[in-house]
Amino acid sequence: MKLTLRGLFPYLFPLIFVVALLLALQMGSLPPADFTFSNGTEPQSVDPAKATGAPEGRILDAIFEGLYRKLPDPEDPYKMKPMPGMAISHDLSDDKRIYTFHMRPGAKWTNGEPVTAYDWTFSWMRFLHPESASQYAYQLWYIKNAKRYTTMEVNVGDKVEVELTDRPNSAQLFPRGTIVSGIVTKIDEKTIEPEEKKKDGEEGKEEKKTYKFYHVDCVPDVAGEPDWNAGATKRVFYLKKTPDKLVAEYANSESAHNVLLHFSEVGIKAPDEMTLVVELDYPTPYFLDLAAFYPMHAVNRTCIEKYGYPNWTKPENIVTSGPYKIQTRRIRDRIRLVKNPDYYNADTVKLDVIDVLAIQSDTTQLNMFMSGQLDWATTVPSTVIPELEELDDKKQEEPRYKGLRKDLLLKPMLATYFYRVNTQRPPLDNPKVRQALDLAINKQEIVDHVTRAGQVPANSLVPPGLPDYTGPEAPGYDPERARQLLAEAGFPDGKGMRKIQILYNTLESHRAIAEVIQQQWKSNLHIDVELRNVEWGVYLTTMREMDYDVVRAGWIGDYPDPNTFLDMFVTDGENNQTGWSNKEYDELIHSAIQEPDVDKRRQMLYDAEKILNEERPILPIYYNVSLNMVRPYVKNFYPNLQDLHPLQILEIDKELREKIREWEDLK
């Protein structure tokens, strides 16, 4: 029996010739890789501080290494566990607030420099710096004074660092230019009253703006460190955009990019190159998971200060520390990774060359997988999942496939697919409208007829499967109640309701889901909905700038705790991106962070999620499953809750690969 999709999916195969031809043209003179996989879309960045998604994370975990890294648990390879990385071990204080990491001797960057604790003090300072605008900066706010550093919270009596405006390139944050250290003695606040103005034909006022003048007793630096006990020079600083008429009030005042809490006040210290000490505000049981999370990977200071952002990330410039390094990058085509011979654990890395392809089409991924051009497809068209499962079952009946892993791997996942709602745009600022939109979505229909891979309808944000936590129940599909709520909001039978736009990034499954919801909102609420499809980079920017009505979103837990989902939606949270704010919710999340009692903490998170359900700044759609197609000859690929698959542990059974290619006519 010829085991291909030729008989099952003839409508797919006309694309194979075109795909193969394009692949050959794109490959040029590159020899074939040992392992090739699809990464979905073009990564937005390979700078850990700038990255936000799974396509970036797969690459960053390959080319950089954190203090710890997520690897399969030796006792259960289907569970991921933080394991020593650039730190060989750590000590934890009795109060569980101070982590002392011991760095790995002999670890090197690809430019030959040693990897040291100083790389983390620099990288985490850069990560937390307000101008870096890292969306994940809040994940390090568990560290003492880290939030104050990012949010530029400065009070009288604080030690500060003032960034003067003499950077070599004013648009380039690192190098930072001249830094002046000192102690704040006084802060003058000057407010400019708004002037009447007309906007869009209506009377209005500009927002009131407040500007600060910082009186600082500045101290000299000795060997690169402030001498806080030396004599001080009094100076006054203001931020760059302060109006000239205010500056004129302060003779000899000086312009600055930023006035920040001095980084020595942040709980990140390197007493020597082999020791990193991190002081938290409160015990954080998942801090090692954060230390292994790709945005927290260290970057090379020499490289960044030499080339600047984004030039330092170019293949010809980038300096990395992980098991792989970038050899070439072709935009909208591939990133080629090659084994890093200087990696401390290089002997255990089995694959020498890996191609990471940017393929947004689910159908193209499937065709390339079935034609032998991919060893791993990170998604496939939902419409063919039943046929793929049937094909796998038929293979298992063949003696030659007996005992081999199936190609299609579907497993529950710590992830939720949902829609964000822009709560700043009328009529979406009305909770009743948002509730109506949620209740008018038949989520069972979506998982039964669109996604078709075992997803579970979601009415709350936090997915099942977390130890010791079950979220609050929320109402499901109820179109009659949805119409009632919409009428109460002033839109009976949808009358007077403006058109709503759904934004999603390019992927066939996102479009299919949006089309179903478009139809459901039309039939259940009689409102018009338009769809807008954009590429990944535009999608991220548009969502961050909140230039949308409703936007497709998804979240994979960064660590196995409900907080990884719920802390996104605190007021002004970097990953909130809905404009929603609720004081009680904020207080519950903040209290849960500090609460040592497990039961009380669980109740706080439960109560917070209940508020989220009631206010509906998000519309949960379904709890996801990991959906991968992986050839049986790929060893050490373990489906897990976070869908993490470290490239450095993968291995090819070459003999089995040749047999399978022969059996399936894929040579």
Question: For residue 413, what pLDDT is reported?
Answer: 93
Peptide bond into 175 cis (omega under 30): yes
Assess contact for 69 and 60: CB atoms under 8 A.
no
pLDDT digits over 346-370, tens only?
Answer: 999 999 999 999 998 999 999 999 9
Both ends of the chain: CA-CA distance in Å? 16
Question: For residue 206, what pLDDT is reported?
Answer: 60
In this predicted structure, the answer to whether residue 552 has a pLDDT above a threshold of 80 is: yes
In this predicted structure, the answer to whether residue 31 has a pLDDT above a threshold of 60 is: yes
Confidence of residue 28 (pLDDT cuts 50, 70, 90): low
Per DSSP, the residues of 334-345 read: EEEEEE-TTSTT
Mean pLDDT, rounded, for 30-47: 93
Phi, psi of 58 (to 5 degrees): -60, -40
Mean pLDDT, rounded, for 125-145: 95
pLDDT digits over 273-319, tens only?
Answer: 999 999 999 999 999 999 999 999 999 999 999 999 999 999 999 99
Mean pLDDT, rounded, for 599-609: 97
Domain borders along the chain are: 145-266, 412-625
- Percent of the chain clearing pLDDT 90 (strictly above): 84
In this predicted structure, the answer to whether residue 341 has a pLDDT above a threshold of 60 is: yes
251 vs 277, higher pLDDT: 277
Phi, psi of 392 (to 5 degrees): -60, -40
Please tell me the distance from the alpha carbon of residue 395 to that of residue 407, in angstroms, as a whole number. Answer: 10
Question: For residue 603, what pLDDT is reported?
Answer: 97
In this predicted structure, the answer to whether residue 97 has a pLDDT above a threshold of 50 is: yes
Q: For residue 527, which of 476, 488, 482 has the smallest C-alpha distance? A: 482
3-state secondary structure of 163: strand
Mean pLDDT, rounded, for 105-121: 98
In this predicted structure, the answer to whether residue 589 has a pLDDT above a threshold of 80 is: yes
Please tell me the distance from the alpha carbon of residue 482 to that of residue 492, in angstroms, as a whole number. Answer: 11
In this predicted structure, the answer to whether residue 433 has a pLDDT above a threshold of 90 is: yes
Q: Which helix (H) or strand (E) holds 330?
A: strand 324-330
Q: Please state, rounded to an integer, the average pLDDT across all residues of the chain.
A: 92
Please tell me the distance from the alpha carbon of residue 465 to that of residue 131, in angstroms, as a whole number. Answer: 37
Mean pLDDT, rounded, for 649-665: 92
Confidence of residue 179 (pLDDT cuts 50, 70, 90): very high
**For 33-47, 191-205, 303-317, 558-572, which range has the lowest pLDDT when averaged over its residues?**
191-205
In this predicted structure, the answer to whether residue 467 has a pLDDT above a threshold of 90 is: no
Mean pLDDT, rounded, for 126-140: 95
- Other beta carbons less than 10 A from residue 71's beta carbon: 18
Question: For residue 640, what pLDDT is reported?
Answer: 93
**For 27-31, 427-431, 530-534, which range has the lowest pLDDT when averaged over its residues?**
27-31
Burial (0-12, 13-18, 19+ Cβ within 10 Å), 208: exposed
Contacts of 564 (CB under 8 A, 6+ apart): 286, 557, 558
Superfamily of segment(s) 412-625 = Dipeptide-binding Protein; Domain 3 (3.10.105.10)
b/e string for 516-545 if b means 16 or more Cβ within 10 A?
A: bbbebbeebbebebeeebbebeebbebbee
Please tell me the distance from the alpha carbon of residue 113 to that of residue 94, in angstroms, as a whole number. Answer: 35
Confidence of residue 195 (pLDDT cuts 50, 70, 90): low
Q: For residue 286, which of 444, 108, 464, 80 has the smallest C-alpha distance? A: 80
Please tell me the distance from the alpha carbon of residue 316 to that of residue 306, in angstroms, as a whole number. Answer: 13
Question: For residue 134, what pLDDT is reported?
Answer: 93
Which ranges of 199-264 would DSSP assign to H, the alpha helix? 244-247
Question: For residue 196, what pLDDT is reported?
Answer: 55
Question: For residue 60, what pLDDT is reported?
Answer: 98
Question: For residue 465, what pLDDT is reported?
Answer: 85
In this predicted structure, the answer to whether residue 200 has a pLDDT above a threshold of 60 is: no
- State the Cα torsion 347-351-352-355 to the nearest 10°: -150
Question: For residue 294, what pLDDT is reported?
Answer: 97
Taking the model in full, what pTM does it have? 0.89
pLDDT digits over 206-223, tens only?
Answer: 678 899 999 999 999 988
- Percent of the chain clearing pLDDT 70 (strictly above): 93
Confidence of residue 198 (pLDDT cuts 50, 70, 90): very low
Structure tokens that stand for 334 in this block:
């591939």
Sole residue written with tokens 């059974």: 653
In this predicted structure, the answer to whether residue 203 has a pLDDT above a threshold of 60 is: no
Range among 116-125, 207-216, 383-392 rated most confident: 116-125
Question: For residue 236, what pLDDT is reported?
Answer: 98
Mean pLDDT, rounded, for 628-657: 96
Peptide bond into 427 cis (omega under 30): yes
In this predicted structure, the answer to whether residue 8 has a pLDDT above a threshold of 90 is: no
238 vs 173, higher pLDDT: 238
Structure tokens that stand for 155 in this block:
């009070």
Between helix 362-370 and helix 508-525 the angle, nearest 10°, is 140
For the chain, how many residues are written? 667
Q: What is the DSSP letter of 483?
A: H
